[in-house]
Structure 1
């Protein structure tokens, strides 16, 4: 379909409704309509497998489902059946459910590098609990984050380091320092500069690039030498790299790790896991000062725990991680060939591990461009592909991948025209998409 004919009147009206009642028009900034071409931000009616339908009646092949959380596809039968069984048994009680013990045993069997686990509802709960625990255990105030990685928490200790720092005291922000990914010497220098002040190093163990040889083991040694806690944020790498996490794949055990996203296949659950000595500081069986680790009313809803157990069983029994890598490899190869065939191979670039692909849209000078991203997204949407990234789910078929590659080829043909013209503006249809983290609305 030509993008000039592709319109979403019902979605456009619904977006106005959303903005009138919800700040930003969505409950996650990455889902905002500013992330999509003007007037082409579909509002979803429902989804099944790798497909979603908007309220205008269009069907899309969807990538990055649920901000990477729906890795098995929407309404996966094993997950929904497990949830359905619990719904009739009650979801929340005045005392722990036996499901909590079952879910903890299942998680610790899946992630054997951890000795204890505590569940919550979102990733920020878990990462902030890890930071609090590290500060309590070390008696140190500072947090060292990997500055090359985009997101760790909605809480002040991290958001104060971003352009959206309004409302966060400078005294809080000053306690967060950063280190570059892959550079052990720079991290060692930081730990020496703030000797005995840094409570923890927190990072995603891998991202768009693989960790350099020896890097994670080197961080482990640095943390031990300087007496700080090593925290792996496995919100994305957990399950997509391995059901036991990137820590298992790369053979380096952190002190604490956090899981979420794929853990519930869209149901709200996250986890803080780690060494018993540290985790028990948030419990009752120790003699030190108590740590208010995690205490969430809805953290152990039975149906979310049931979803997580079903997800883990499915990953292990059906080899889901391998499926994600195979699908991603097919997609990456197809997109790369399509871009090269249309003469834009240096401008539409696929990056990342096969199970967690993103794409870059580069301008005439090879620089990242929000304008060219807008052009690209418009063409994908018109072709029935909803793809803020190319992160795959196991529900995708080879036919889905092939159709996506065909649509990408069509988008790349227009991309080439814009590059030849030296100006993508005529193909944007309005304002360009915007970065999530920006100081002004």
Structure 2
């Protein structure tokens, strides 16, 4: 039976206040309290490095910070100093700032496979702009997205394909096709089904699985042969795979790519980058094609966010952050796997993904994904002071944090084993199970 003593009265009250004023009680569905065990959704007071404190005064080792965006840790000194310097100089003007020039130069030097870049505030705007650009360039309307990747945009063209499609006309989703990751033959079959209709192929170049040998190069060749624009969504892979993203690591250059998350270490900045001839369709120098309303956002070039992005890129390059993320992730993955194996749940608590971007799966007695067992696992982690919707590391973690996390995981796995032996995790849940983000009804 569950014997945890973690109590979050102030967080519960804060969650009630959030729901009274904010639909969903959070500004990102993945941060909703439905993603956490009942009455155990901490509301954060502040963070420093790899740790956060809730309003009840509890301290946690945090993973997946800011939905993978805070890869250097909270309040990183180099980033904060760069932001402070710009805040005193004004943040938004009636004309471009010189910071926009410097940020673009820095980005294109970091991601040399791109020829032009335009900044925005969130990933959805960048991916939707890429899709719009591809449609304009090809004169085609249908978009093909990778069905194995969970999220591309809050805009209708993607959300209409999920169970939360209320409010989106079918005429929008009728223009969406899909293809499975890693299967070139299935992708070619899809393209043949819609001859000369597909404007673009959009996918994450890698996720919790590495791309099969030759897959990305084969996709590049297929897009060229079929006249499609190839778009890499590098929101997650950018910086975590290499400073230049997955395209820099695997050596396959997309026509367009989108970056965000780690780019700003928590500050709001994203980027659309790619081939000059495509990007210029949203500019002022291509007088032969109809203009594309590419990205035009009031706050897209706020100087303090661009300063944060430049500081992040400098830190990654000068301090070898990508290598550190992989080293920390490898240590954590090995520890979690050993702990799970030692407690007899090695087949049930499964760590997956690239070392810099680890996720975990919680499987039931039949080795099927289970929200109930995920709830049990999360409860035990929280009780041990580990806030971990994933095991995505930040470079602010140290060996002591990793060792402490592994100890807590071992304790959680001991309870997990008891629940498996009982073939019923319910007594250890103390409330409803956590829920998937994409579902039709609340």
Shorter-chain TM-score tier: over 0.9
2:376 matched residue in structure 1 = 375
Give the distance between the partners of 1:422 and 1:348, measured in 2 at CA.
15
1:97 matched residue in structure 2 = 97
1:265 matched residue in structure 2 = 265
1:350 matched residue in structure 2 = 351
Contact 2:126–2:271 (Cα < 8 Å) also in 1: yes
Give the distance between the partners of 1:130 and 1:77, measured in 2 at CA.
33
Moved more, 186-195 or 390-399: 186-195
SS in 2 for 1:67: helix
1:232 matched residue in structure 2 = 232
Contact 2:4–2:383 (Cα < 8 Å) also in 1: no
1:172 matched residue in structure 2 = 172
Structure 2 matches for 1:385-400, cutoff 5 A?
385-400=386-401
Contact 1:3–1:378 (Cα < 8 Å) also in 2: no
Give the distance between the partners of 2:47 and 2:317, measured in 1 at CA.
24
Contact 2:4–2:380 (Cα < 8 Å) also in 1: no
1:176-227, Cα deviation, whole Å (9 max, x unpaired): 1100000000000111110110000000000110000000000000000000
1:313 matched residue in structure 2 = 314
SS in 2 for 1:10: helix
Matched, 1:256 2:256: yes
Count of residues in correspondence between the two structures: 440
TM-superposed CA distance for 1:347, in Å, is 0.2
Q: Structure 2: which 5+ residue stretches go unaligned? A: none
Structure 2 matches for 1:419-434, cutoff 5 A?
419-434=420-435
1:362 matched residue in structure 2 = 363
1:153-197, Cα deviation, whole Å (9 max, x unpaired): 000000000000000000101101100000000000111110110
SS in 1 for 2:119: strand
TM-superposed CA distance for 1:396, in Å, is 0.1
Give the distance between the partners of 1:417 and 1:246, measured in 2 at CA.
41
Contact 2:129–2:295 (Cα < 8 Å) also in 1: yes
Give the distance between the partners of 2:239 and 2:111, measured in 1 at CA.
10
TM-superposed CA distance for 1:3, in Å, is 4.8
TM-superposed CA distance for 1:4, in Å, is 3.5
2:153 matched residue in structure 1 = 153
Matched, 1:202 2:202: yes
TM-superposed CA distance for 1:239, in Å, is 0.2
SS in 2 for 1:243: coil
1:416 matched residue in structure 2 = 417
TM-superposed CA distance for 1:352, in Å, is 0.2
TM-superposed CA distance for 1:311, in Å, is 0.1
Give the distance between the partners of 1:350 and 1:73, measured in 2 at CA.
22
Contact 2:45–2:52 (Cα < 8 Å) also in 1: yes
SS in 1 for 2:286: coil
Give the distance between the partners of 1:385 and 1:26, measured in 2 at CA.
21
1:212 matched residue in structure 2 = 212
TM-superposed CA distance for 1:296, in Å, is 0.2
SS in 2 for 1:202: strand
Contact 1:3–1:379 (Cα < 8 Å) also in 2: no
TM-superposed CA distance for 1:48, in Å, is 0.2
Structure 2 matches for 1:321-340, cutoff 5 A?
321-340=322-341
Give the distance between the partners of 1:99 and 1:192, measured in 2 at CA.
46
TM-superposed CA distance for 1:6, in Å, is 1.1
Give the distance between the partners of 2:176 and 2:53, measured in 1 at CA.
42
TM-superposed CA distance for 1:254, in Å, is 0.1
Contact 1:3–1:382 (Cα < 8 Å) also in 2: no
1:11 matched residue in structure 2 = 11
Give the distance between the partners of 1:4 and 1:252, measured in 2 at CA.
49
Over aligned residues, Cα RMSD in angstroms? 0.5
SS in 2 for 1:46: strand
TM-superposed CA distance for 1:31, in Å, is 0.1
Give the distance between the partners of 2:176 and 2:302, measured in 1 at CA.
33
TM-superposed CA distance for 1:5, in Å, is 1.6
**TM-score of the aligned structures, taking structure 1 as reference length:** 0.99
1:288-326, Cα deviation, whole Å (9 max, x unpaired): 100000000000000000000000000000000000000
Give the distance between the partners of 1:206 and 1:267, measured in 2 at CA.
24
Give the distance between the partners of 2:3 and 2:259, measured in 1 at CA.
39
2:72 matched residue in structure 1 = 72
1:311-349, Cα deviation, whole Å (9 max, x unpaired): 000000000000000000000000000000000000000
2:304 matched residue in structure 1 = 303
Give the distance between the partners of 2:54 and 2:19, measured in 1 at CA.
18
SS in 1 for 2:65: coil
Q: Structure 1: which 5+ residue stretches go unaligned? A: none
1:61-96, Cα deviation, whole Å (9 max, x unpaired): 000000000000000000000000000000000000
1:293 matched residue in structure 2 = 294
